[in-house]
Amino acid sequence: MFLHSVVKFVAVLGLTLSVASGCTTATSLDSVGAITPAPTTEKSAAIVVDGSTGAVLYQAGADLPRIPASLTKMMTLYLTFEALQSGRISKDTQIPISARAASQAPSKLGLKPGRTIDVDTAIKALVVKSANDVAVALAEYLGGTEEQFAAQMTAKGRQLGMRGTIFHNASGLPDAQQITTARDMALLGLSLRKHYPQQYHYFGAQDFMFDGKIIRGHNRVLAQLNGADGIKTGYVRASGFNIVTSISDNGRQLVAVVMGGETARQRDAQVVSLVNAYLPQVAHK
């Protein structure tokens, strides 16, 4: 009976804390603060951050565990950019495609085992196509195995301050142990621009040429918002529709994250609405 009461109390406390989560205009990215009502579904979360100061302009469920889906590839790319900067690889380095990489579920380029792909094209494939086969190939090349690379991803996230994220693969394909938060994804988005400005242009790509064909992307927000220059969309059934959007407009920088959208259109509309509402509050550099 006592145990039942404790469990009930914890459940009520958790619900109370969730309902208390929402919006602030003066907190840092590290703090939770007083925020507006919680998201409407167990998949939903959102946060808007001033890219210059790190101030949180809006948040809803930003620290609740969420499934990253292909937002995972942002960290795969972060470690790829790190390897480029250190000189470990170049944009011309050829990445071999293993049988395991080739066997990944879509979205993918459909590369055959034994083929190679250069790093420049691999980066575009992750950003534009969200290619799971290429994500695994990069992980195996840089980490030895995808499992070892995922451990490096998690460790790098901790270094960046991503306290609620555990990576178990490089692609974002379903894995029950792979979790993140909207706050962590915003922090990763800010870190990509801050630490790798010379590579950041990739995130603005809406298509690329591969094997004589134009490969088109999924990120329609790039064409809907002035100053939108990335970063990534993601979807698996368990996560709903996710997006991290970056804006650089007339000296103002902003990152907005929406997770758990019911449809891609609804997710896009929500992030566009958040950007339009909060960009006027962003500090000029």
pLDDT per residue as tens digits for the range 39-92: 457 899 999 999 999 999 999 999 999 999 999 999 999 999 999 999 999 999
For the CA atoms of 251, 257, 263, 269, the dihedral, rounded to the nearest 10 degrees, stands at -30
Every domain of the chain and the residues it spans: 2-87+161-281
The stretches of 20-87 forming alpha helices (DSSP H) are 73-86
The H or E element that residue 249 is part of is: strand 240-249
- Spatial neighbors of 99 by CB under 8 A, at least 6 apart, are 113
Q: Rounded to an integer, what distance in angstroms lies between the CA atom of residue 278 and that of residue 95? A: 41
CATH class as words, domain 2-87+161-281: alpha beta
**pLDDT at position 41:** 73
Q: Give the β-pairing of 252-261 and 213-216.
A: unpaired
| Residues recognised as catalytic | 70, 73, 130
Q: How many C-alpha atoms does 107 have within 13 Å on its Cβ side?
A: 20
Going from the C-alpha of 81 to that of each of 120, 122, 155, 234, 248, the distances in angstroms are: 11, 12, 16, 20, 20
Give pLDDT tens digits for 102-160.
999 999 999 999 999 999 999 999 999 999 999 999 999 999 999 999 999 999 999 99
Q: What pTM did the predictor assign?
A: 0.87
